[in-house]
Structure 1
């Protein structure tokens, strides 16, 4: 039920709450072992984690010093002796778990109490407790978890465990009481005990600060992550695209294969739709297009058939041509170069996918437009060129480039 080699534990027995170390199980030389912190004669328990740490600091030899992972345990912080909430075992209070329904919490807590009680009984030779666990096989099913008691006879069996515990648990607890020795504070070095309290507090403060920093780092990473990357579209590597141009908006899809763009379409015609809903319906009913051959296309279709495909455009895949031509006519300072760069990216992608030289031909026929774009987009090819008025010819050339793109659309 636990995977850590050596655990700090808190146990509630008749005389109160006590702290010690427990090695639930380990294998050495082919044999299975289990142990508690002890002195060859009895299991040692302490009134506080501080007393436990002070003892470890002044006693190098004990029943756990030969454990194969003892050095690893000792290398942990000074708060290594402080149990977590799950390392608290309310042995004397076990019947209370059985007084209620077999919820996940009640069953898991009872299972942990049974586990440590049986281990303590075996290690310390607590005869009455050993006989109790050996004589009632019904107790073993508690380790199976709450699901075991969810069946038709679950409540009846849970009640059966309750009857067995109610009739015998007081004797079991007394047997475990006798199996441990409470180390008296007077047996410990006073200076070491005071230093232990300070060391534990400092270690807990340091661990809390480290945990807080880790949480902050995780939150920062989560905030930096784009939810789109884990969406169906992000995993498939095929993106919905929105194009706003000459007062209208259309939607399509695009991906990149070996760095080259591939659009939803065929023979140079880009399939475009007036809304994401139209696009979503169309891809379910049509497979005669270039994207159908992309390996992840079936992932999108499967998601669509399952009703899990929502067509949403990431801001990076939204292209607006609106206003660019008018701004070009006003002068370079009026142009949003980021908007222009994105728009030109789409123009180039569409021409590249279509295998059409019309864009290059237009620019070759208008060398000043080439220089203008190089200047506006920060290309080194614009060295020495500075745009000068009038800019109407540049605005007209840009509009022709837009017209070329629109002609590739199936609907506009």
Structure 2
């Protein structure tokens, strides 16, 4: 099971869009849990929806009276801003649009869209269902407050969505798509009515119904951050910092080293200014922090003799940087500023590379675990892998990522189409090579005291 995470999502129903948070299944004390931002301890379980990400973030900062308050990463979420709780395209669910999707001919996007929408619908019903259970009576065990949801999810055509477009190709596939449309026509209105009884369109009493935007008004933000060209003029004298990556929408525990996100934001200006960035690497042996820069577009790490030094805490890394031991960053023009600063080396999210989590996700998907997992899970870890392999001269890693290999093909797919679903057979093929890759990377890592 993947490490605990909390994901921002948007739901559109009755031409209004609300924002909330979903905690995908995680394991704690030997039990599996799943929850949405809401309350399930009253007569009717509800999921709180907010008219804007800003309103959602404000609620998270001030309230702990909800089902996610005890989630392992809630302290991180409580400190996030609106941009961090804005869902990406893959986590926006237009429940109103299901009729239109099934009315058209199936394509990959339609199938994936329906699969995702039905999946989140089932999860909402599961978390909000407070019908009594009786393990001694099979009939009672089937009782549910979401009868229409249960009936729809039991349709074999819905199960076929998990197989992708191939399940709806040919005469048999066309017939299955028609039957799926019939099931939607018969049941979807009742499904929405059942769900809406458990959706709180007041933002836990913080908003009015007319504040919620329509689907057209609630599209993802198109704001973009422009690079400062003036900073590039000093590239000949100082190492270049990589362009800022787009913020991720999945709120995870952020690696294995606990770091305050507010402190990260405060420290980022210094590290970007010197062009030497803190990095976290997580491998089976442990999690550690190091420093990385780029010289003539080639990665260079804090280390020597093709070995990367890792430290267990920002303070330990800072203490080493203040010392006089020679290493491969000593000759960098801005290193004296690093050696002299009191600013802790705190990595931003896009410079945290959790190679263990990828292995866990691949194992889950290979075992057939339900959930929304796509090729984007590989993008960021592979960036770190390539940088480490380049610096350490790991030819074996280059071979594992060569075009035509399973990992090479998956990497290319992740760059070309990161939203493409990661199928069970894909994950099963990648598990062995990924483990080999991580073992090879680990040979170049030295954990310093």
When the two structures are superposed, what TM-score results if normalisation uses the length of structure 1?
0.44
The higher-RCO structure (CA 8 Å, 6+ apart) is 2
Larger Rg: 1
Structure ranking higher in helix proportion: 1
